[in-house]
Chain A
Amino acid sequence: MKSRKRFITDKIYQSLITLISLIGLVILIAVFVFVFNKGSSLLSWDLLTGDYYSTVYDGYYDSELTTNLFVAPDDLDSDTYFSTRWGIALKDDLDREGHDYILIVYVDTESPLANLPDKNNEGEMVYMASGQSLDKIIFSDNTIMLSSKGAEAAISQFESATGIKDIMFTTAGKGIRGSLITTMYLIILTLIVALPIGILTAIYLHEFAPKNNKLVNILRRMVEMLTGVPSIIFGLLGAAVFIPIVSTVTGTEGGNLISGSLTLAVIILPVIISSTEETLKTIPDEYRQASLALGATKSQTTFKVILKSSAPGILSAVLLSIGRIIGESAALIYAIGTSIKDEIIVTERSTSLAVHIWSVMSGETPNFELASAISIIILLVVFVMNLSVKMIVKKISY
């Protein structure tokens, strides 16, 4: 009897533990579901390549209107309105603040509206395209179309118009091209700085340093201490040290991509050093002995044999670092700043993808959709990096 009771109690405890262990899985799925839910609708080529800031354009059309009629493409929604004379499809939509606006859904490539002379810049052209919003039109007979009247009304005005004195439209903003490019710049610059320093440090500590030397142990301890430092402290370091240095060298005020990269380099330095050292430890000593027995010097042995064999381990370190760089937010908020830019210049500031999220989430109206869309991208990259590292590690142990 007693043993049966114990058996049942045991099973109950085991089930309890199993249930609790599922919490981790639940959270992972919850994060994914939430982020996909909110953000997937926003994911598009336009998002990746578009500007963040919208621009308002002014065009006009005073040439002859062709008598050819345009045909609406088959894939238009039922609530879109199409103008056969101008080849443009419009639809009513709500912006994020809940205001109505007219969304340009389609512009035929042959449409006169696809290339319009720029009203504000003599000789320049402006281009209407899907995704933009139609703000206001003054037709050549001086009738005015306002976006508040809706797409249907606008289209009927188009059908009866012969020319356009002034057509105002706004490009869709909220694109992340700037932050995407910034992130790539940061990855490359950071790796260029951190890889050599990290790898050489690991080589010194593992291959060349005298063993049981007090000074070497102190150096090693100091390098290890870097792993426990929170990112925001690195951000302070960047603001206190790198920004002034970079300012005097490049003449810019405040942070820029270079100060950001330097800060990120310090953050990933311990990752690179420990990964490389771990790899060096797995290289069998026989290689070193065989090389030295052939009359090679220590540096020849290290650079011609050992380093080559460390390639997979160093690759893992690089992949892990990329994951870290892409996700880093607090440090960059201090080391660069939070201004989103469309034009990316290395000696000026802009936001990485993670900081872009911070920027649109702080403030009175957090933009969950954009934040989630960017999070999807970040999560995908981070997961691919981590899983790749797992595969490399598996390959090495064979």
Chain B
Amino acid sequence: MKFPIFKIWDVKKKNRFFDKLTYTGLLIPTILSASFVVLIILFITERGVAPFLPSQYGDLSVNFLRFMTGTTWYISPNIYGIFFIVINTLYVVFLSALLAVPVSVFTALFIAKMTPKPISGFFQTVVELLAAIPSIVFGVFGLGVITDVVKKIATVFGMQTAGGISALSTVLVLAIMIMPTVTLLSITAIKAVNRDMENNSLALGATKIQTLFKVTLVSAKSGIFAGIILGIGRALGEATAVSMVAGNAGTGPDFNIFNTTRTLTSTMLLGLKETTGLDYDIRFSVGVVLIIVIIVTNLLLNAAKKRIGKFS
């Protein structure tokens, strides 16, 4: 029994039309998805540029040069300075990376190369769970535990802190938050290293540790570095947890880790409940600076990664 011929033909035409429709139809959500990046850049820049334009704010507009070079965040009514905040942010992120990277790499080595499957699976789950903890919870933890720890450390050094709220707390919290990212990516990089190379090293009489450090880590270098870049990117953008333990110092830059500090993100969140007008819009300007800092840092680090890669 053949299908009635005319029926097939109708359906075929419909199918073909539907196919073309689907193709165009699928393009729309794709373009939409791709457009958000553009929207972000456009609209945030638009709002962020406004405080500097006399056409928007008249006499109350902010002086751009003072903004970019200032060492005090806010002097009423319209003097804002962001320079020291950028320095503080980079300082705090750099320190947290300094702390987190060794711990992450060692943990990755441990999980990937030094433990049998069930144990390494357990520890990997531990790291994945840490990665899943939202930043607000780290903020609560930071305010509740980390600040106490910092208070104790401060007394050991004979320093004063504002109840533990300090740059050091920020560094510790950030280190905890980027450790899972760097660890997970390092695990992937380390696992991808050629087993034969490692076996060769052992066969030449090297110890396990020598092999791990001289062969495995060296080969996994670029993957690990990629993880570090990702982690640093996240640290730069981390807002909630940081704003809870940083303290929002008004001036700077300040390199004393026991003093309060301020990051670009904490500036954006501080006092958001009661703001309108210029104080609200200036946060968009800070946002623009944040985006620029992240992009520039990424470019610089990626360039460094390429150069290191050349030497392997």
B51 to chain A, nearest CB (A): 14
Q: Which of B65-73, B77-85, B140-148 contacts A (4 or more CB under 8 A)?
A: B140-148
Chain A residue at smallest Cβ distance from B102: A20
Tell me whether A24 and B107 are in contact (CB under 8 A): yes
Question: What total of A-B pairs shows CB separation below 8 Å?
Answer: 238
A283 within 8 A of B: no
Given the contacts A223-B33, A269-B33, A327-B135, A28 and B130 also touching, CB distance less than 8 Å: yes
Contact: B30 with A329, CB < 8 Å?
Answer: no
Residues of A contacting B39 in the complex (Cβ-Cβ under 8 angstroms):
237, 241
- Inter-chain CA distance A266–B25, complex, in Å, is 20
Interface string of A196-235 (1 = CB under 8 A from B): 1110110111001100000000111011011011111110
Which chain A residues border B208 with CB–CB below 8 Å?
10, 14
Binary contact track A320-356/B, C-beta < 8 Å → 1, others 0: 0001001111100110001000000000000000100
For the complex, is A104 an interface residue (Cβ under 8 Å from B)?
no
Please provide the chain B residues from 84 to 142 with a CB less than 8 Å away from any CB of chain A in the complex. 102-103, 106-107, 109-111, 114, 123, 125-130, 132-141
| Interface presence of A273 (CB below 8 A) | yes
Closest partner residue, chain A, to B20 (CB atom): A299
Do A237 and B40 touch across chains, with their CB atoms under 8 A apart? Answer: yes
Q: Find chain B residues with CB under 8 A from A27 CB.
A: 130, 176
Known: A10-B208, A200-B26, A329-B240. A382 touches B102 (CB 8 A): no
A237 contact set on B, CB distance < 8 A = 36, 39-40, 43-44
Q: Mark B272-295, 1 if CB is under 8 A from A, else 0.
A: 110000000001100100110010
- Complex CA gap A101/B273 in Å reads 31
* A358→B266 CA distance, assembly (Å): 13
User: A21-B111, A297-B18 in contact; A34/B240 too (CB < 8 A)?
Assistant: no
Q: Does B15 contact A (CB under 8 A)?
A: yes
Chain A residues with CB below 8 A from B128, complex form? 386, 390
When chains A and B are docked, how far (Å) is the Cα of A358 from the Cα of B244? 9
Q: Is A6 an interface residue (CB 8 A)?
A: yes
Residue of A28, A219, A230 near B265 (CB, 8 A) is A230
**Please, could you name 26 A-B residue pairs with CB atoms under 8 Å apart, sorted by A?**
A17-B106, A18-B114, A21-B123, A24-B107, A28-B126, A31-B133, A35-B140, A228-B233, A230-B294, A233-B237, A236-B44, A237-B43, A240-B284, A241-B39, A297-B16, A297-B18, A297-B19, A330-B239, A354-B134, A371-B140, A372-B140, A382-B133, A383-B132, A386-B129, A387-B125, A390-B128
Interface, chain A (partner B; CB < 8 A)? 6-7, 9-10, 13-14, 16-18, 20-21, 23-25, 27-28, 30-31, 34-35, 38, 196-198, 200-201, 203-205, 208-209, 218-220, 222-223, 225-226, 228-234, 236-237, 240-241, 266, 269, 273, 297-300, 302, 323, 326-330, 333-334, 338, 354, 357-358, 361-362, 366, 368, 371-372, 375, 378-379, 382-383, 385-387, 390
User: Chain B: residues with CB nearer than 8 A to chain A?
Assistant: 15-16, 18-19, 22-23, 25-27, 29-40, 43-44, 46-47, 102-103, 106-107, 109-111, 114, 123, 125-130, 132-141, 143-145, 176, 179-180, 183, 207-210, 230, 233-234, 236-240, 244, 265, 268-269, 272-273, 283-284, 287, 290-291, 294, 298
